[in-house]
Amino acid sequence: MELRRRVEELLGPGGAVASRWPRYERRDGQRALAAEIALCLEHGGLLLAEAPTGVGKSLAYLLPSVLLALESEQRVVIATCTRSLQDQLFERDLPALLEVLGVRLAVARLKGKQNYVCPRALELQQGEGPEEDEVLETVRAWAAADPEGDLDRFPAADPEAFRRVRGRIAADPAACTLATCRRGRECAWVRARRVAAQARLLIVNHALLAISSGVEGLLPDFDVLVVDEAHRLEGVLLGQLERTVSRHRIEELLRLVGSPRERGRRGYGHGGALLARLRGYAAPLISGGGPPGATEAIERLARRVGEARQDLERLFVALEPRGARHEIYGARDRYRSAGDLLGGDFEALEAVLGHCAEFARGLQRLGLGLDGAGEAGGELAAELEQVAGRFAGVGADLQGLTDPAERDWVYWRTAGGRGVELHGLPITVGGHTRRMVLSRARAAVLTSATLSSAGDFSFIAGRLGLGEQHGVPYATCSTPSPFPLARQMRAYVHDGGRDEAAAVAEVVVALAAATGRNQLVLFTAHERLRRARARLLDVLPAGRLVLAQEWDGPAGIVSERFRASRGAILLGVQSLWEGVDFPGESLEILVVAKLPFSVPDDPLVEARGERLREAGSDPFHDDAVPEAVLRFRQGVGRLIRRGDDRGVLVVCDPRLLAASYRRPFLDSLPVPPRRVGSAADLAAEAARFLAGSEPVEDR
């Protein structure tokens, strides 16, 4: 029986899934989506599938994926953006489906290397204080009993202390390689890869999927690919392709090398400075069986550490933009040549590049002298080779970023509170999407709640390099929301004048007083959030909980506090526009401060605009508007998460009703927004609706 028909029967009335799935609800949209996915998986090709909250998207792609893996020799890879969804699929949804079907299937979950504990780092690491010492002892006991070694699953009694030590005991993607590691039999990452190689269905994340194309054997070959949260794929690919150099990155390597007189301190890397350990117990091994002059080589590298630090200071002072403001989030300053960065003085740059090359060569030679010198010498040789590779890598990145010759790339520097950083990335990811992701599977499904702008998939397809013009044809399907959104939601536009902070504060204070409900307020920039936060703290009554992303903790921490509170106000940017779930009373009012357009002078936005104009397109209408519509849809999607939710949307941007480009934004809303005279009137209407005193019916 063809796959599509089997999926439809299993999800239909009387089917195995319908009769056995816990808390099953009939969802015609889910059944139709699963049928379209089954058709793609069986016959091949590429499908872009949009399915909003409530459709049951995960089951719609898990069911045909499981059936295909069971009944053929094909391997299916499912990729999510977030580890939380990856864990949900592996630990909850997939086991439940296999139980309902009454089948067994070899499945595995594989994350990036930095998510697994490193046995050598854990053995050598010392805590900085009794809290960290206690955490490390607990992790050691847990790692000995848990073969998976997934640090996300460690039950931390002291989350803050664990957060501080986690990076020091995790496998290091930049340094750790199977070719140099002497602890392969103990390594949780190696074990996870072995299990993944035997799986017929493998769950990974976008980042691992992207980097696997350049690392042979990182993922086993696969036939079918399903990418969930696909609206975030472009950003992940850009993040993997981006090159970045900072002073901190090079200084960290110099600290790892240290000097022969620099003994290991508590918490220091893998047991102390490399050169100190070489002189202390490895130099005799080198001089006895390695290259001549090893002791002198150690001393030369030690002298070079001090010289490199001085030259690094000179370079990054020279890279500082004149008149730069030292803020937490520095502005992006685009440059097009080495002269834009350094004028005509390249002496410090050439010195630092020379240091990187000499450290790479010198450490590699010393490591060769230790190879075969017992377990301790072998482990140190592996560490020397790893650090040598990191010096070579940062040197190559620094060379590329200070000689911006690639036309299809864009380059910029930031000069915020973390000092000067140089960045570069491709202007588009289309070719990389095809090479890194899609060319490896005969069938692929990209799915998300938001893939289209006003029902048109061409924007995100173009960003990913898909379509006939790129030689990658695709099919599309859209599933309507199963929720009665017109009855569950009200939308308003508040025009509070040109002062965004004052307008937002006015409506948030009025809503807080009238409703006492949880409010999420979304901003397009940290500085805009900062100004609104200051205004709110001035005018809100004492005792009202105001949580601001970054000021009061990262997104995950403030989200948990917000869910557990009532009458709270959460101010967020970027990551809180998407991927967070606040069902029921945990979120009943969403305030959007501004339509989420990208900053026009952002280097990447500017470079894209130049390419679009060269091709005869309009950067604003063909790129900026559809991108903002997708972000807007993501933000609005935070409000209604269940069939019995009620919610009020307030957009503090009159352009939603007045701008010439308003139509795609309005079409993305389930209800037409209304303009209400004052913040107090708006809050009063919202309170009546949320209290249920306004009739729940389509208007």
Structure tokens at 249: 């990155």
For residue 180, tell me if it sits in a domain: no
CB atoms within 10 A of CB 43: 12
Each residue of 60-83: pLDDT tens digit?
Answer: 999 999 999 999 989 999 999 988
With cut-offs at 50, 70 and 90, classify the pLDDT of residue 553. confident
| Structure letter (DSSP) for residue 445 | E
- Domain total of the chain: 4
Lowest mean pLDDT: which of 37-46, 207-216, 401-410? 207-216
Give the chain's largest Cα–Cα span.
89
What is the C-alpha to C-alpha distance for residues 449 and 231, in angstroms, rounded to an integer? 8
Distance CA 18, CA 22 (A): 9
pLDDT band at 55, cuts 50/70/90? very high
Based on the fold, state whether residues 54 and 74 are members of the same structural domain. Answer: yes
Q: What does DSSP assign to residue 592?
A: E
How far is 652 from 591, CA to CA, in rounded Å? 7
Identify whether residues 564 and 636 lie together within a single domain.
yes
Segment 133-178, tens digit of pLDDT: 888 999 999 988 888 899 988 888 888 888 888 888 888 776 666 5
Q: What is the pLDDT of residue 273?
A: 79
449 lies in some domain: yes
DSSP string, 269-288: TTTS-HHHHIIIIIHHHHHH
Strands of 427-474 (E only): list them.
443-448
The yes-or-no verdict on residue 39 having pLDDT over 70 is yes
Q: Is 639 contained in some domain?
A: yes
What is the distance between the alpha carbons of residues 585 and 517, in angstroms, rounded to a whole number? 7
Bridge partners of 522? 572, 592
Q: In what order do the strands lie in the sheet with 409-416?
A: 243-246, 419-426, 409-416, 332-334
- The proportion of the chain whose per-residue pLDDT surpasses 70, expressed as a percent, equals 91
Closest CA to 632 of 599, 596, 658: 596
The verdict on 514 and 643 lying in the same domain is yes
CA 641, CA 612: separation in Å to the nearest integer? 37
pLDDT attached to residue 178: 58
Confidence of residue 418 (pLDDT cuts 50, 70, 90): confident
- Residue 179, SS3 per DSSP: coil
Closest Cα partner for 636 from 674, 663, 676, 596? 596
Its sign, for the CA torsion 364, 369, 373, 377, is negative
Burial class (CB in 10 A: 0-12, 13-18, 19+), 141: exposed
CA distance 699 to 696: 9
Tell whether 394 and 501 lie within a shared domain: no
Q: In angstroms, rounded to a whole number, what is the distance separating the alpha carbons of residues 115 and 95? A: 22
What is the model's pLDDT at position 22? 74
Residue 649 DSSP code: E
Confidence (pLDDT) at 120: 79
Residues 148, 192: Cα–Cα separation, whole Å:
7
Instruction: Give me the pLDDT at residue 615, please.
Output: 93
pLDDT in tens, 576-633: 998 888 999 999 999 999 999 999 989 999 999 999 999 999 999 999 999 999 999 9
Q: Give CA angle at 81 (390, 227), nearest 5°.
A: 115
| 546 phi/psi in degrees, rounded to 5 | -120, 120
**Euclidean distance between CA atoms 488 and 344, whole angstroms:** 63
Residue 565 burial (CB < 10 Å; 0-12/13-18/19+)? middle
- Dihedrals φ, ψ of 617, to 5°? -100, 165
Least confident interval from 231-245, 306-320, 405-419: 405-419
Average pLDDT over residues 563-571: 95
The residue segments making up the domain with residue 33 are 3-113+187-237+429-478
Same domain (yes/no): 508, 377? no
Structural domain contains residue 84:
yes
**Closest CA relative to residue 32, chosen from 47, 16, 19, 43:** 47
469 and 397 co-located in one domain: no
What CATH number is attached to the domain comprising 497?
3.40.50.300
Instruction: Tell me the per-residue pLDDT of 340-385, one tens digit each, with 9 for 90 and over.
Output: 999 888 999 999 999 999 999 999 988 887 766 566 667 788 788 8
Task: Answer yes or no: do 270 and 331 share one domain.
Answer: yes
Q: Is residue 46 one of the residues assigned to a domain?
A: yes
Q: What is the mean pLDDT of residues 33-40?
A: 97
Q: What pLDDT, on a 0 to 100 scale, did the predictor assign at position 697?
A: 45
Is residue 264 pLDDT above 50, yes or no? no
Q: What is the structure's pLDDT at 204?
A: 96
Q: According to the model, what pLDDT value does residue 383 have?
A: 82
User: Measured between alpha carbons, how far is residue 642 from residues 34, 55, 194, 482, 639 in Å?
Assistant: 21, 10, 39, 10, 9
Residue 336 resides in a domain: yes
The span from the CA of 444 to the CA of 447, in Å, is 10
Model pTM above 0.85: yes
Whether 34 and 139 share a structural domain: no
Q: Is residue 683 scored above 50 in pLDDT? A: yes
497/611 same-domain check: yes
Residues 509 and 455 in one domain: no
- Band (pLDDT 50/70/90 cuts) for residue 86 is very high
**Per-residue confidence (pLDDT) for residue 271, from 0 to 100:** 45
Helix (H, G, I), strand (E, B) or coil at 217: coil
**What is the model's pLDDT at position 569?**
96
- Same structural domain for residues 121 and 96? no
The mean pLDDT of the chain is 88
Query: In this structure, what DSSP letter does residue 647 have?
Result: E
Tokens representing 382?
A: 């592996």
Alpha carbon separation from 87 to 95, 193, 211 (Å, rounded): 12, 17, 20
Residue 295 has pLDDT above 90, yes or no: no
pLDDT of residue 555: 87
Whole-number pLDDT of residue 350: 97
Q: State the pLDDT confidence band at 326, using cuts at 50, 70 and 90.
A: very low
| Interatomic CA distance for residues 25 and 643, integer angstroms | 11
Q: 274, 278, 271, 280: which is closest to 253 by C-alpha?
A: 274
Q: Which two tokens stand for residue 270?
A: 């893998």
Reference 193, options 218, 169, 175, 174; nearest CA is: 218
In the structure encoding, which two tokens stand for residue 218, read together? 């990182």
Q: Give the confidence band of 698 by pLDDT, cuts at 50, 70, 90.
A: very low
Indicate whether 547 and 643 sit together in one domain: yes
Q: Look at residue 186 and give its three-state secondary structure.
A: coil
| Mean pLDDT in residue range 327-348 | 83
Q: Sort 657 into a burial class: Cβ within 10 Å, 0-12 / 13-18 / 19+.
A: middle
Q: Are 224 and 77 in contact (CB under 8 A)?
A: yes
Q: Span 493-505, mean pLDDT?
A: 89
